[in-house]
Structure formats: C-alpha cells, structure tokens
A = this chain, B = another copy of it.
Amino acid sequence: MASDPGARRAEGRLTRKGVQTQQRIVAAAADLILQQGVAGTTLDDVRAEAGVSSSQIYHYFADKEALVRAVVDYRAQTVVGEIHEPMLAAIEGIDGLRAWRDKIVSIQDDAGCQGGCPLGSLGSELAELDHVARHNVAAGCSRWEAAIRACLQGMHDRGQLVPAADPAQLATAMLAALQGGLLLAQIERNTRPLAAALDVMISLTASLAPPAQSDDSAR
C-alpha cells in the first residue's frame, strides 16, 4: 500500500486497533469483489460486510479507488506471497509440482469454481479502468512468475531438467496455463480445463527430465 496515497492517509497515526480495522475493511472488500466484481461492489456493501461505519471507511480510504487498490495489494500478498511463494519454494521435483497442481484444483473445487483467480480477475476487470491497479496486478503476476521460475530453475540446477530446458519460458507458460485454466474453470463451473492445462504443463516438465533422472524417479 506504500504506493497508494489514498490508503496511506491515516497510516502514520494508526493504532494497532486501527490497523486491524483497516485490514478488516480490505478483507471484506476483497471477499465481496471476488463474489460480485469491483463494479458490483459498493462502499455501502463493504461497510455492512466489515461491520464498520461509512466514516470509518473514509477514515482509512479516500474513495473506492483507493480501497480497490488496497484490495489488489492484499490479493497479491495473500495469493502470491502467502500461498504460492511458500508452496513453490518447497517443491523439490516433479512430485511437488503435481501436489501444487492438486492443491490449486482442490481450492477451485471447494469454491465451486466461483470467482476465478482472485488476482487475475482483478486484472481483467481493472486493466482498462485504473492503470495504477493494472500496474500493481502486473507486479503481483511478476512475483508469481518469478516464484514458478525459481522452482523450475532449482530443478534445472539440480539436474532434474535437461540442460536445454528453458525454466524462464516454461514458467511464463505455466503461469499462463494456470491463469487461463482458472478463467475457463470459472466460466465452465468445472475444474476440467484447469486440471488439463496444468497436467499438460507438468507432463511437459516431466518429459524434460534427463533419461537417468527419469530412471531415478521411476524407482
């Protein structure tokens, strides 16, 4: 939120309780926006959902735009920083990638495939309306891509992928498959396209193991 003057207005003098209230407002807004989009969410909805007054919202956020930008930062932090970065950093090989895939599919199954990607769907809705928000979604996607790349680069460095494999290009394609799979699953209300897209990318990664490595993993 450091780049967002609207959200920062009260920052210097926030008590611990103030920080908690501010975070509760952002989390409530994020939930509502995932369910009904940015345009379908009013500050009055957020007020009711967070159990705060209108003046409390305006104490922390200059306007809806400032709150939406705070939601973008919150989603980048929760989805990428708290879920995907630690999961991807812990992956040691192809089985770890498969567990990551299973977790992603299972989250969507639990959500009935509603809402799509909490970060990507913000990007789609805001890209042409708020260039600061678009830029911040792009920064979140860039972190996400870097985490996938580091995972694949680690496999490459450990000799689990052939030298000719390109972890950077593979990571970009993996994130695209993930984003496209999440969108198609949301539209179809079925994890089928998400699972297929990730399975193809993981099979491709598995096929890039050197022959000896394939033997190892088959033991």
Q: How many residues of A contact B (CB 8 A)?
A: 51
Cross-chain contact A137 with B187 (CB below 8 angstroms):
yes
Q: Is the CB of B125 within 8 A of A37?
A: yes
A176 at the interface (CB under 8 A from B): yes
Question: Looking across the interface, which residue of chain B has its beta carbon closest to that of A113?
Answer: B127
Query: With A127-B116, A128-B35, A193-B176 known to touch, is A138 a contact of B200 (CB < 8 Å)?
Result: no
CA distance A188 to B175 in the complex (A): 13
Contact of A77 with B by CB under 8 A: no
Q: Which of A57-80 contact B (CB under 8 A)?
A: none
* A183 interface hit (Cβ, 8 Å): yes
Task: A181 to B38: give the CA distance in the assembly, Å.
Answer: 22
Given A39-B39, A184-B179, A193-B175, A199 and B128 contact (CB-CB distance below 8 Å): no
A196 to B175 Cα, complex, angstroms: 10
Q: Is the CB of B39 within 8 A of A37?
A: yes
Whether A141 touches B187, Cβ cut-off 8 Å, given contacts A39-B37, A169-B200, is: yes
Looking at A115, A172, A181, A207, which has the most chain B CB atoms within 10 Å of its CB?
A: A172
Which residues of B sit under 8 angstroms from A184, Cβ to Cβ? 141, 172, 175-176, 179
> At the interface, yes or no: A90 with Cβ under 8 Å from chain B?
no
Give A120's nearest chain B residue, CB to CB.
B183
B contact residues around A125 at 8 Å (CB) = 37, 39, 124-125
Taking each of A125, A145, A200, which has the highest tally of chain B beta carbons within 10 Å of its own beta carbon?
A200
Q: How far is the CA of A18 from the CA of B120 in the complex (A)?
A: 39
Complex: A141 Cα to B129 Cα, angstroms: 25
Asked if B37 contacts A40 (CB within 8 A), the reply is no
A122 to B38, CA, bound (A): 14
Residue of B nearest to A134 (CB): B187
A181 CA to B177 CA, complexed, in Å:
8
Q: Chain A 161-189, CB within 8 Å of chain B: the 1/0 string? A: 00000000110110111111111101111
Chain B proximity of A166: nearest CB distance (Å): 9
